[in-house]
Every structure is written in C-alpha cells, then in structure tokens.
Amino acid sequence: MARVGLLVECGRDGLEVHVCRRMCELFNEQLSVEIEPVIVPMDHKTRLLEECGTVTRNLLLDDGCGRVVILWDERPAWPNMRDPLCWHNDREKIWAELTQAGIDNQFVHLVCIEREFESWLLFDHPMLSNILSTPARPVRLGRQKSPDRIPNPKGRMMTIFKQHGKRYVDTVYARRLANALTTLNRLRRCPTFCRFAEKVTGINLNR
C-alpha cells in the first residue's frame, strides 16, 4: 500500500483531517487504488507556509511516503476584504520553503482550494441534506450553483445550517461530515478536488 503524505490547514481534530481521510478511503474503494494517507494537521495557514519544508522532508525521509500533497485554502481564515485573493504568492512561498529544505519537487504536489475547504462540501448537497435531516424533519437541499465561486463558503454553510435550526462549527461537524460522505460523484464537478484526487492517487478523474 502506497503511503501518501498530506499537509492540511487545520488542527488535530479538524475538518480536513477527518474528511480527507474519508476521501482516501473512497479513493481506495471506488478507484481501485491502495493509498495509506499520513495526514499532518498544520493548525493554520501561516504555520503551513512556514514549516511545510521541514514537515514534508520528514514525511518523505522518515515516514516512508512516496509523495506528499500540500493542501491549503485560497481564502485566509480571517481575510482582509480589501486584499484580493492570490494563491500565487502562497505557492511561491511553499516552493521556496521546500527548496530550502533540500526537497526534490517531483515528489511534492501543491493543491490550493479555490476559496476554502467548505467549497468542496457544498458540491455534495445530498450529503449536507443528510446531515441536516432528522427522522421527523427530512431536509432536501437544492444544488448549489458554482460552490467554488462563492466568495465565503464557510459563511454559506453557516447560513444553510442556521436556516435549519443548527449552528455550523467545522470542528463539531467534522466527523459527521466525513461519515456522511459516501461517493465521489458530485465532487468530480470541482476542478480543485479533481486535482487533489489525481495528485493523491495518480488517476485523472476526468478521463
């Protein structure tokens, strides 16, 4: 089984940790691959950008990973609305840290999520419907239009949950969202998810 390192922008019990682990399970089940993810939570974007070189080197040299995928949000956790979003600067910073750590870039892949991780989740409206439903009150959400173009996906999630009497907190719902994810079909509509899947598995989902 191939070990793949994943650097994610959250805490130890965060949304990306649980959902990315579930995604890797689905890769194995639905794409007929054998992936063992080694997920390293980097707490927040600043730490990911500053320490990715050291962590990636450890994954490749000490943890037996054949490749590492660095996943981060385009949108900062506390964005300055006057500053335009630009993943190019993040990318250059990451490559500089990797070069300084003496890492061969052919073993490392960068995936920046347009907006933020909730963008991916908003593609799977049946999964969210399942999360929001109760035996007495089933919920059927409509399909979101271009979730990766929504300016504030986390805010959209909070609004949807509030409309159904719930409060969205990513760490609270992390495990439930992971457990509710049962298929890759709807996520295939998202270009950055497809890139993530390809870099983790080596399989192009669009073929």
Mean predicted lDDT score pLDDT of the chain: 93
Residue 151 lies in a domain: no
Cβ burial 7-37 (10 Å sphere, 16+ → b, else e): bbbbbeebbbbbbbebbbeebbeeeebebeb
Residue 127 lies in a domain: no
Residue 134 lies in a domain: no
Q: What predicted TM-score, i.e. pTM, was given to this entire model?
A: 0.93
**What CA–CA distance (Å, rounded) separates 103 from 61?**
10
Per the structure, the count of domains in the chain is 1
Q: How confident is the model at residue 168 (pLDDT cuts 50, 70, 90)?
A: very high
> What digits encode the pLDDT tens for the residues 169-182?
999 999 999 999 99
CA dihedral 192, 197, 203, 207 (to 10 degrees): -40
Question: What is the secondary structure of 164-201 as a DSSP string?
Answer: TT----HHHHHHHHHHH---STTGGG-HHHHHHHHHHH
∠ CA 115-199-61, rounded to 5° = 110
Residues counted in the chain: 207
> What digits encode the pLDDT tens for the residues 2-61?
999 999 999 999 999 999 999 999 999 999 999 999 999 999 999 999 999 999 999 999
How many CA atoms lie less than 13 Å away from 6 in the CB half-sphere? 30
Q: What is the CATH number of the domain that holds 22?
A: 3.40.50
Give the containing element (helix H, strand E) for 129.
helix 125-132
Residue 166 lies in a domain: no
Residue 152 lies in a domain: no
How many CA atoms lie less than 13 Å away from 177 in the CB half-sphere? 28
Range of the domain at 177: 2-116+171-201
**What CA–CA distance (Å, rounded) separates 11 from 168?**
17
